[in-house]
């Protein structure tokens, strides 16, 4: 017999019942709760009807709440306040947030004490003076009310309510002065000193780096209070810069027990049953080509001649076979978003059993893969392609240096693992040249950038900074991966399956106008009208390639473009000149690639894969990518400062890498380090900043410092705490 359905409670009689009956969502609330409260909509309706701020007790009467429901009603109001639906004025009275011209957004703090509110709806930032910043920290979400303009003409705001705190912990240096302990944050955007409760230093000594938990958040009249929960050690201990960066940027670096246990249960090798239903490509001589220090090999390649063209196969580790949607490993991989590569240390997206062993395409071991099998014409056009699951056995783990030597240096003594593979590598080189032809035809932008490598001694101290080697073997692999990524994007698009695209938009109208104004002074022009194509950028770069000021022009062109990100909205990739592009080739270290693998498998099976809200996933993965970039940049900056602290007083040649209203940043030639020459050190003159021409000009002398200009500077100060190197013109 079917169980009797529980009926909704009957509203109470009398005046209060009449009020409750007016609640348009009473039935919904009654179906959810045995003791229903007034719906949020009804509460807002009552407030709007009063048209003035209402005391909580009076509001309770208006919506028919009394007695034992008062506590639940207070909790509902608190939730509405957190969600920005209502506000309380200074007297505690309640009002509808939308009626008070409030803006909801995120606080962006500046090291000098002031900040900005970045509104959620994307309108212009609002200035928050130091007085307003006392009650918030960088990243907090707030409701603010525009309050006019400051003396510099900036739109100013007053914080009405802190909706959400961005952090519950702070990493920084512990100081003990006159018996009072406090922590100064490593993140210079946090200007508050966190007072430590008496006896809550966890035994840390003054000057040590600690992690402190915030017990009391800052207020208008109060400092934040906390307690030490972790003692990391001395600030100059080897690896301390990484420990600080992990905590400063809230990078997950320890796997939850559930994920660790799940990884431990996975097999150590590929079992025969795992190969069922897969194409057996163990007889095909795939190879991996990576850097000397790489440990996670997620792509292998093989190419052979096919008529006048080529058959290129790109095999990518089938991470999705082992990491299932919404299991503990998947949830943690999504949380991390990507692996983070620090000097001498990697924070992997997946446990090492997966990233370095089971899914890494190590030589002479069976591995499960997803293959993108392509036919490439002599002109580099990809024609037929298909995706399928396979099992491979890599022939060799090659490095870029080995491949470059075998293909381009042509030494007579090519031996070892490379020797029997030279003919296959030559086919790879031929398809690479064809793909380069297509790249040029397509008009992709090819900026020449310099990356550096930090070298360390046995004690973990930096010994020197050198340019990262880059040769045609790097570009060979890049072109193969680009081809596979484009096929993945095209495949999902043709199957009308949703995807997470890697999108890169062209310049904003404002940046485009500034760029053209800048180019005018050089007698140059960027074609393409209001919506230039990447071809126009590529054409201009080719035009200025042999000019002495090519570095300046390339830098300005690069800075006019927007940042690439992940989105379900396919707007194309401007820089690569692709109408549709996604990431497929690195599922060991990038979560978007794992998502694309799942989408491809679903489409092959005529099914649909849904990771949740695609737009939210795109925002999250873009955030984790930026977070990783910021953390690695912090670590490199600290290490470079540590390296330069013994070189104070020395002089170096360099180029101006950035021009601001407060000075010039100079990148040194010999040591590949950047520092600031403050405007006050540039000479006895008033210097005016010209943002269009990226220059500082002296009012009296006419002396000009322009982006990419050559200068000679002397190192006068190195601040490890601030991560800053100061120069003066030599």
Instruction: Tell me the average pLDDT across 401-408.
Output: 90
pLDDT greater at residue 416 or residue 427: 427
> Which sign does the torsion angle of CA 362, 365, 370, 376 carry?
positive
pLDDT greater at residue 543 or residue 498: 498
pLDDT at 103 over 90: no
| DSSP string of 455-487, one letter each residue | EE-TTS-EEEEEEPP--HHHHHHHHHHHHHHHH
Q: To the nearest whole percent, how much of the chain has pLDDT over 70? A: 95
Query: What pLDDT does residue 20 have?
Result: 59
101-164 and 169-235, same CATH topology: yes
Query: What pLDDT does residue 523 have?
Result: 87
Q: What is the number of other CB atoms lying within 10 angstroms of the CB of residue 505?
A: 16
Lowest mean pLDDT among 19-28, 119-128, 489-498, 625-634: 19-28
Instruction: Tell me the average pLDDT across 530-549.
Output: 88
CA distance 42 to 96: 12
Q: Convert 284-322 to b/e letters by CB count within 10 Å (16 or more is b).
A: bbbbbbbeeebebbbbbbbbeeeeebbbbbbbbbbbbbb
Hey, what are 451's tokens? Answer: 């990356």
Query: What pLDDT does residue 29 have?
Result: 80
CA distances from 541 to 433, 442, 519, 524, 549 (A): 21, 15, 12, 11, 12
CA distance 523 to 623: 39
- Top mean-pLDDT range of 3-17, 46-60, 287-301, 533-547: 287-301
Instruction: Tell me the average pLDDT across 691-708.
Output: 91
Q: In the block, which residue shows the tokens 């309510």? A: 161
Query: What pLDDT does residue 403 have?
Result: 92
CB-CB contact of 109 with 190 (8 Å): yes
Instruction: Tell me the average pLDDT across 62-85.
Output: 82
pLDDT at 410 over 90: no
pLDDT at 271 over 70: yes
Query: What pLDDT does residue 1 have?
Result: 40
Query: What pLDDT does residue 420 have?
Result: 83
Query: What pLDDT does residue 25 have?
Result: 84
CB-CB contact of 474 with 480 (8 Å): no
CB-CB contact of 618 with 565 (8 Å): yes
- Top mean-pLDDT range of 18-27, 414-423, 599-608: 599-608
Hey, what are 669's tokens? Answer: 């030639």
Residue 342 buriedness (CB in 10 A; 0-12 / 13-18 / 19+):
buried
Phi-psi map region of 516: left, alpha, beta (phi>0 left; psi -120 to 50 alpha)? alpha
Lowest mean pLDDT among 31-45, 307-321, 338-352, 638-652: 31-45
pLDDT at 84 over 80: no
Query: What pLDDT does residue 2 have?
Result: 44
List beta partners, residue 578. 573
Lowest mean pLDDT among 2-6, 17-21, 99-103: 2-6
> Which sign does the torsion angle of CA 84, 89, 91, 95 carry?
negative
CA distance 118 to 138: 11
Query: What pLDDT does residue 599 have?
Result: 98
Phi, psi of 386 (to 5 degrees): -150, 155
Query: What pLDDT does residue 13 have?
Result: 42
Considering the domain 14-96 in this protein, what is its CATH number? 1.10.10
pLDDT in tens, 203-247: 999 999 999 999 999 998 899 999 999 999 998 888 899 999 999
Query: What pLDDT does residue 36 have?
Result: 82
43 closest CA partner among 75, 16, 80: 80
pLDDT at 472 over 60: yes
CA distances from 263 to 251, 253, 256, 270, 611 (A): 20, 16, 11, 14, 21
Query: What pLDDT does residue 394 have?
Result: 97
Angle at which helix 614-644 crosses helix 591-604, to 10 degrees, equals 150
167 closest CA partner among 197, 196, 187: 187
Query: What pLDDT does residue 9 have?
Result: 40
98 closest CA partner among 162, 57, 140, 143: 143
What superfamily would CATH give domain 648-729? Nucleic acid-binding proteins (2.40.50.140)
pLDDT at 276 over 90: yes
CB-CB contact of 315 with 387 (8 Å): no
Query: What pLDDT does residue 10 have?
Result: 39
CA distances from 501 to 414, 453, 581, 592 (A): 41, 30, 6, 9
What superfamily would CATH give domain 101-164? Nucleic acid-binding proteins (2.40.50.140)
Q: Is 552 helix (H, G, I), strand (E, B) or coil?
A: helix
pLDDT in tens, 146-172: 877 888 888 888 888 888 999 999 999
Query: What pLDDT does residue 573 have?
Result: 95
78 closest CA partner among 157, 161, 144: 161
pLDDT at 545 over 60: yes
Lowest mean pLDDT among 18-27, 41-50, 234-243: 18-27
List beta partners, residue 94. 54, 88
First to last CA, the chain: 94
pLDDT at 293 over 80: yes
pLDDT greater at residue 46 or residue 286: 286
Any idea what the Cα angle at residue 91 is, between residues 85 and 95, rounded to 5°?
A: 25
Query: What pLDDT does residue 720 have?
Result: 87
| DSSP string of 15-54, one letter each residue | HHHHHHHT-TTHHHHHHH-SSPPPPHHHHHHHHHHH-S-B
Query: What pLDDT does residue 8 have?
Result: 38
328: Cα separation from own chain's centroid: 22
pLDDT in tens, 554-613: 888 888 999 999 999 999 999 999 999 999 999 999 999 999 999 999 999 999 999 999
As a 3-state breakdown, the chain gives helix, strand, coil percent values, each rounded to 5, of 30, 30, 40
Lowest mean pLDDT among 112-126, 250-264, 638-652: 112-126
Query: What pLDDT does residue 21 have?
Result: 62
> Which sign does the torsion angle of CA 688, 693, 695, 700 carry?
negative
Q: To the nearest whole percent, how much of the chain has pLDDT over 90? A: 64
Per-residue pLDDT band at 48 (split at 50, 70, 90): confident
What are the sequence ranges of the domains in the chain? 14-96, 101-164, 169-235, 257-498+584-628, 648-729
CA distance 609 to 377: 33
pLDDT in tens, 644-678: 999 999 999 999 988 999 999 999 998 899 999 99
Q: Any residues with CB less than 8 A from the CB of 623 and at least 6 apart, and which?
A: 337
How big is the chain, counted in residues?
730
CA distances from 111 to 157, 190, 237, 723 (A): 19, 7, 25, 13
> Which sign does the torsion angle of CA 206, 209, 211, 213 carry?
positive
Instruction: Tell me the average pLDDT across 46-69.
Output: 84
540-545 — which CB contacts under 8 Å span 24+ positions? Answer: 541/445, 541/446, 541/447
Query: Number of helices (H) and strands (E), helices first, in the chain?
Result: 18, 33
383 closest CA partner among 434, 322, 324, 326: 434
Rounded to the nearest integer, the mean pLDDT of the chain is 90
CA-based max dimension of the chain: 101
pLDDT in tens, 428-468: 999 999 999 999 999 998 887 778 889 988 877 888 899 88
CA distance 253 to 340: 10
CB-CB contact of 40 with 76 (8 Å): yes
Instruction: Tell me the average pLDDT across 108-113.
Output: 90
14: Cα separation from own chain's centroid: 58
Q: Is 10 helix (H, G, I), strand (E, B) or coil?
A: coil
Q: Is 127 helix (H, G, I), strand (E, B) or coil?
A: strand
Considering the domain 169-235 in this protein, what is its CATH number? 2.40.50.700
């Amino acid at each position: 017999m079917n169980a009797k359905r529980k009926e909704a409670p009957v509203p109470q009689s009398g005046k209060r019942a009449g009020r409750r009956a007016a609640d348009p969502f009473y039935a919904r609330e009654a179906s959810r709760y045995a003791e229903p409260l007034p719906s949020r909509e009804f509460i807002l309706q009552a407030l709007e009807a009063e048209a003035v701020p209402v005391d909580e007790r009076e509001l309770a009467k208006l919506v028919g709440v009394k007695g034992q429901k008062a506590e639940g009603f207070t909790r509902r109001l608190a939730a509405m306040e957190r969600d920005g639906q209502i506000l309380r004025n200074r007297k505690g009275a309640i009002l509808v947030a939308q009626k008070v011209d409030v803006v909801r957004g995120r606080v962006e703090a500046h090291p000098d004490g002031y900040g900005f509110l970045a509104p959620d709806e994307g309108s212009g930032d609002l200035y928050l003076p130091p007085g307003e910043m006392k009650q918030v920290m960088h990243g907090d979400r707030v409701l603010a009310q525009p309050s006019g303009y400051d003396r510099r003409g900036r739109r100013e705001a007053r914080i009405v309510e802190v909706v959400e705190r961005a952090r519950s912990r702070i990493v920084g240096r512990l100081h003990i002065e006159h018996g009072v302990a406090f922590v100064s944050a490593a993140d210079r955007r946090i200007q508050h000193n966190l007072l430590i409760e008496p006896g809550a230093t966890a035994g840390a000594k003054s000057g040590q780096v600690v992690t402190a938990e915030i017990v009391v958040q800052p207020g208008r009249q109060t400092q934040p209070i906390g307690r030490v929960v972790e003692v990391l050690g001395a600030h100059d201990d080897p690896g301390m810069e990484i420990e600080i960066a992990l905590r400063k940027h809230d990078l997950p670096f320890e796997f939850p027990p559930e994920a660790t246990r799940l990884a431990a249960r996975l097999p150590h090798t590929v079992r025969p049953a795992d190969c069922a239903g897969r194409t057996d490509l163990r007889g095909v001589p795939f190879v991996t080509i990576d850097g000397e220090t790489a440990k996670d090999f997620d792509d292998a390649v093989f190419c052979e001649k096919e008529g006048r063209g080529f058959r290129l196969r790109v095999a990518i580790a089938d991470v999705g076979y082992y990491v299932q949607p919404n299991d503990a490993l998947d949830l943690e991989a999504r949380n991390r978003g990507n692996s983070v590569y620090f000097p001498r240390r990697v924070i992997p997206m997946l446990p090492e059993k997966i990233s370095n062993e089971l899914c890494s395409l190590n030589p002479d071991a069976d591995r499960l893969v997803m293959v993108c099998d392509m036919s490439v014409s002599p002109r580099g056009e990809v024609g037929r392609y298909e995706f399928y699951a396979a099992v491979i056995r890599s022939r060799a783990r090659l490095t870029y240096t080995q491949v470059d030597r075998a293909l381009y240096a042509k030494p007579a003594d090519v031996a070892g693992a490379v020797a029997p593979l030279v003919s296959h590598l030559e086919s790879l080189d031929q398809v690479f040249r064809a793909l380069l032809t297509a790249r040029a035809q397509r008009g992709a932008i090819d900026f020449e950038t310099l990356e550096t490598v930090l070298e360390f001694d046995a004690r973990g101290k930096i010994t020197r900074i050198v340019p990262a080697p880059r040769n045609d073997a790097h570009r060979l692999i890049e072109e193969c991966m680009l081809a596979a990524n484009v096929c993945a994007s095209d495949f999902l698009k043709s199957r009308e399956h949703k995807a997470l695209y890697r999108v890169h938009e062209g310049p904003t109208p404002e940046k485009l106008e500034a760029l053209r104004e800048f180019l005018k002074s050089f007698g140059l022009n960027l074609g393409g009208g209001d919506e230039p194509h990447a071809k126009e950028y590529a054409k201009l770069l080719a035009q200025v390639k042999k000019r002495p000021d090519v570095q300046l022009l390339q830098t300005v062109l690069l800075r006019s473009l927007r940042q690439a990100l992940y989105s379900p909205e396919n707007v194309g990739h401007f820089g690569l000149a692709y109408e549709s592009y996604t990431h497929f080739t690195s599922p060991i270290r990038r979560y978007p690639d794992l998502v694309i693998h799942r989408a491809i498998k679903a489409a092959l099976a005529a099914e649909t894969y849904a990771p949740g809200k695609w737009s939210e996933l795109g925002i999250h993965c873009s955030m984790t990518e930026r977070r990783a970039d910021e953390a690695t940049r912090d670590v490199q900056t600290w290490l470079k400062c540590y390296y330069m602290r013994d070189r104070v007083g020395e002089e170096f040649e360099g180029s101006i890498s950035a021009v601001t209203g407060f000075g010039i940043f100079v990148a040194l030639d010999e040591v590949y380090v950047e520092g600031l020459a403050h405007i006050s050190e540039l000479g006895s003159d008033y210097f005016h900043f010209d943002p269009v021409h990226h220059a500082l000009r002296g009012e009296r002398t006419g002396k000009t410092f322009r982006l990419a200009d050559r200068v000679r500077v002397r190192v006068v100060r190195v601040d490890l705490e601030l991560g800053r190197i100061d120069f003066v013109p030599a």
